[in-house]
Amino acid sequence: MLGNHIQLLCRGLLAGLVAGLLALGALYASVLHFARRLTDMPGWELGLFGAAGAWLAIEAVPFLKYPANPPAVGDPDTINEPTLLWLASVVLGLVAIVVAVAVAKALATQDLHTVRIAGPAFAFLVVVGLGYLVLPSVDEVGEGFPSTLSWEFRAASFAVQLGLWAALGVVLAYLTERASRRTPIAA
């Protein structure tokens, strides 16, 4: 009897995960569909760079300021503040990406490759650094909580997000490259 409930729970979790991933993939593809109008980059390249930028903005920037914590860590009465701060760090990451892309477009005519690469990277780091200075620190892990468990959870969370965005980028790059290579059928 208990085995049936666990199977049902696992199926529900899997269905929820797949639905969430499909929604995220659709949102990502929609954003890149509109981004194609702003660049002459081939679709496969835009897919890879878009996934890298999304991972950087949505996962890496927030993770470095507010790393993920295991469930039930912290005071449940104060859950709103860390959640809003995490959301602010996601917005910070997105703003930093937009600034870096704007700087890259402004420097696109430069002869030196180092200037074209270092300029956007420096702009990104300046925006993120200033944002980190403005955003307050949060330490919600209690003294009795094992630090190894916390860091194992954080490493797993980071790896899952990296894998997710890498898969989205590679799949979209493959699909766009494949679609662009199709020869039209003669009437």
* Spatial contact of 121 and 101, defined as CB atoms under 8 Å apart: no
The more confident residue out of 135 and 182 is 135
Return the closest-CA partner of residue 154 out of 41, 40, 62, 42.
Answer: 62
User: pLDDT tens across 4-41, in order?
Assistant: 666 766 677 678 778 878 888 888 888 888 888 888 88
What was the pLDDT predicted at 32?
83
User: pLDDT tens across 144-183, in order?
Assistant: 666 677 788 888 888 888 888 898 889 888 888 888 777 6
Percent of the chain scored above 70 by pLDDT? 81
pLDDT grade, residue 77 (50/70/90)?
Answer: low
The CA distance from 2 to 9, in Å, is: 11
The more confident residue out of 110 and 149 is 110
The CA distance from 62 to 86, in Å, is: 6
What was the pLDDT predicted at 113?
87
Return the closest-CA partner of residue 84 out of 136, 142, 20, 158.
Answer: 136
Q: Which segment, 22-36, 59-73, 91-105, is predicted with the most confidence on average?
A: 91-105
The more confident residue out of 122 and 35 is 122
Helix (H) or strand (E) holding 76: none
